[in-house]
Structure 1
Amino acid sequence: MKINKILNNNAVMVKETDKEKIVVGSGVGFQKRKNDLINPKAIEKIFILKENEKFEQLLMRIPEVHFILSEEIISYAENQLETRLNDHIHLALTDHLSFAIERERKGIYLKNKLLPEIEVLYKEEFEIGLWAIQHIQANLGIEMSIDEAAFIALHIHTMKIRGGDLKETVKQTAVVREMVDMIEQYLEREISRSGLAYERLVTHLYYMLGRVGHHGAHALDQEMLAMIKKKYITSYSCSQQVTKKVASVFGIDFPEEELGYITLHIERLRMNLLE
């Protein structure tokens, strides 16, 4: 395997069967030139990026240590999740991480408003995010906030091979947050983010949004739905108002059966708040 272009000491480009590939490995590009052979033992990863030009530009403008840290976090994430992440993670996470590190150096801190929801919905990814900020501190001496762990978690979640689009993931998580806020306003009480009832509600809302988006819904017979509406009047009224607002703001319509399930979760929360 011959080097086509050197990106930095730890990343080079090669060309095989008319496809440009990026080879990553410790010292793989150190003191190398174009057309030099790569030591197979130095290769840690090979991947193909459609945005090769963007990746080149990124590596030219960021400190190499940022790229190394990003690759170490990606490797750790893939080992923890036991799955390969989408190749785009190498560009997306490196770009995000480098900007976040420089931001921290300048004393600019970003609050992640979706932190409580991310902790619940993406537990494995959030744990990886926590490891990542500790890893950055150990290597650079920069103490990053728990909010950054949540940002990293979102990137990792959406870059799973079976994952989705980052914007769509953020949107769904934001809708969940809005719904929780609206429930709090209706009940006129603050919901504890550490309770099991809250965790169940958030998880249900998130996966419900996924089902609604794909025109699916939980099956709930009409007799059960009628009983829920009659027995839990306050909670059902709350679910009606919340879903009506979400429909008007985000354009997401909920089947009545889903309102029944939301009602049950709200009722559980309401009972916990009254205790």
Structure 2
Amino acid sequence: MQVRQRLNNNVVLVDDADQQMIVMGKGIGYKAYPGDQINESLIERTFILRNNAENEIDQVKALINEVPIEYIILSDNILKFAKEELNADFGVGMLVSLADHIFSAIDRKKKNIQMISPLHWDIKQLYPTEVKIGEQAVKYIAQELKVDLEDTEATSIAMHFISSGNNYDSIQQAMNFTKIISDIITIIQYHFQIKIDQNSIVFSRLVSHLQYFLIRQVKEISMMDLSDEMIKIVINQYQSSFQCAEKINNYLQQNHQIKASLQEEIYLTMHIERVHQIDEN
């Protein structure tokens, strides 16, 4: 590994074969000059730069100038736990956003500034796995840094994993879609006068379908066309579920300027029907 750029005493940008990497370790950047071989025995953390390398380098530079190294290491440990839970991999961008968030959350706690997400309960209901990671993170922060964050901070941390794992463009978009999904589930429950079991596989599949349904509308991605015969069969056999899908479409048009195609309504109808059938059984 060859030094490309020393970022500070503990962080160095290196070249390794055809890859650029950020390596971290106590004192690893001390007297490290471009072209030198890095002392690999000092490496504690390694991050491979993948997509926009220059942008990721700038993000890391900004992070290490503002956030102490212990917050970065703590955040990386949280990401390792999340990787096992979600079976997902996270890049430098995720590390930067999470470390910055935790640093800011602890700063607010010390200044006695409370910020409660209005979507706290929606997030807990819709994304139990991500919230579990957030809760573990809050416990880990208390253990390592002796700072007891509010319980609601678990859902704020969870949003980083929700936005990362569901093809959302940003945390703000993930939050907006969470509110819409919660409203859609309320429409379904009211339409059938039921309470959906939020621990069921059917509920999890419905949430997942709604996530990608909304992403397709925003990104204008077309679904596979259904035959006219298939459309007629679904509408005739699942009339109540189709009526519910139309209510959802009306809500989206009136409140979010989203108009789903008939094909999307049919797919949504079939997911709604599964929920309805489970309740009847």
Which bin holds the TM-score, normalised by the shorter protein? 0.7 to 0.9
Counterpart residue number, 1:60 = 65
CA distance in 2, matches of 1:82, 1:195: 21
Alignment of 1:107-186 (within 5 A): 108-111=114-117, 113=119, 116=122, 120=126, 123=129, 125-144=130-149, 147-159=152-164, 163-166=167-170, 167-186=172-191
Q: CA 1:26–1:115 in 2, change beyond 3 Å: closer, same or farther?
A: farther
Contact 2:177–2:214 (8 Å) recurs in 1: yes
Helix, strand or coil: the match of 1:175? Answer: helix
TM-score using structure 2 length: 0.72
Helix, strand or coil: the match of 1:208? Answer: helix
Q: CA 1:16–1:112 in 2, change beyond 3 Å: closer, same or farther?
A: farther
Q: CA 1:274–1:84 in 2, change beyond 3 Å: closer, same or farther?
A: closer
Contact 1:184–1:191 (8 Å) recurs in 2: yes
Counterpart residue number, 2:257 = 251
Paired amino acid for 1:66: Y
- Which residue, 90, 100, 122 being the options, matches 1:95? 100
Shift of 1:134: 2.6
Paired amino acid for 2:212: Y
**Structure 2, gaps ≥5 residues long:** none
Shift of 1:92: 1.4
Contact 2:117–2:156 (8 Å) recurs in 1: no
Helix, strand or coil: the match of 1:88? Answer: helix
Contact 2:131–2:155 (8 Å) recurs in 1: yes
Asked if 1:235 corresponds to 2:241, the answer is yes
TM-score using structure 1 length: 0.73
Q: CA 1:156–1:58 in 2, change beyond 3 Å: closer, same or farther?
A: same
**Structure 1, gaps ≥5 residues long:** none
Contact 1:15–1:21 (8 Å) recurs in 2: yes
CA distance in 2, matches of 1:195, 1:14: 47
CA distance in 2, matches of 1:224, 1:41: 63
Q: CA 1:118–1:258 in 2, change beyond 3 Å: closer, same or farther?
A: farther
Aligned-CA RMSD value: 3.9
Shift of 1:168: 4.0
Which of the pair has the greater relative contact order for Cα pairs under 8 Å at 6+ separation? 1
Tell me the alpha carbon deviations over residues 168-187 of structure 1, each in whole angstroms, 9 at most, x when there is no partner. Answer: 44444333223223334545
CA distance in 1, matches of 2:6, 2:113: 36
Helix, strand or coil: the match of 2:23? Answer: strand
